[in-house]
Structure 1
Amino acid sequence: MGGNSPCASCKLLRRRCTKDCIFAPFFPSDDPHKFAIVHKVFGASNVSKMLQELPVNQRADAVSSLVYEANARMRDPVYGCVGAISYLESQVSQLQMQLAVAQAEILCIQMQQQEPPSDSVSAHHHAQQILEGDDHGDHKSYHDLMHNNNLTAMMSFASPSNVAQEPLKRESLWT
């Protein structure tokens, strides 16, 4: 920075900000909190070494990552970013399960609209008739009946009453 005001890191560390200061492009003086949190978590020396080892075109992304990780470490000192990632993975998993249940319900409703409902005992009896050759040609095939019964069994397993309807909680892989 030279003659202008020192960058946030030099101001915090109380040193003179030179023209070739490695922190100046990434930690402007008008955002001192950004460097303060990175310094608290990683230390100025470590951040300086990391930035010097990287090509110039990758340093801005590295600083963004360091700021993000430092903020995550301040919120969750044990797990940091990993805690946030596992929480989001848990949410994705729960939402995928809810989506599968909703899709199965839609399929069940569509099938119910296409044909009158039948109980599984009569469906199995009818399937037995088809296998024994007592079918008169005007009934569904054994495969269609078994598919319908499998869908019904799946729907009873994945019905909303069987799926936990608790609000999403913050969980971690290690707790």
Structure 2
Amino acid sequence: MKIKWAESLRESVHDLAESLGNLFVESFHYLALFAIGGITAWASIAAFLGMVEKGHITVDDILLLFIYLELGAMVGIYFKTNHMPVRFLIYVAITALTRLLISDVSHHNGPGMGVVYVSAAILLLALSILVVRYASSQFPSVSADAPRRRRLQSSQPAEAGDPGET
């Protein structure tokens, strides 16, 4: 036999703990995103000012700015969707390897196996983007609603055929 007041108290404590946990996790995510976005912006401005101070800009420098742009786009997408797109991480890796390849060829001017290895790595990453895009179109992930979305949906009546309907 359950004691109703104890069960009610347990549910209240559970709901409070879940709400506080969600608050702390979401607060950490937003603080971390602001920090990462700010650091990315700061680094890109510093790199740009370094290029201006140097007096000329190389392809390496432009690719570095593209890396910063992709990192900023990842932060922006995470802010909007709460999902980290793996493709953007692969784009950053491809851009970084392209930057390495251009730098290696322009500074060493000699053909070597390093060029082949980096080119193969870029090809492998490009194929991985193809696989990720194909997999995400054929097997879409089930998105979990954020806590605030659940609250909004629970306060509104469910329509017929609505997946949130119980």
TM (norm. structure 2) is 0.33
Q: Which has the larger radius of gyration?
A: 1
TM (norm. structure 1) is 0.31
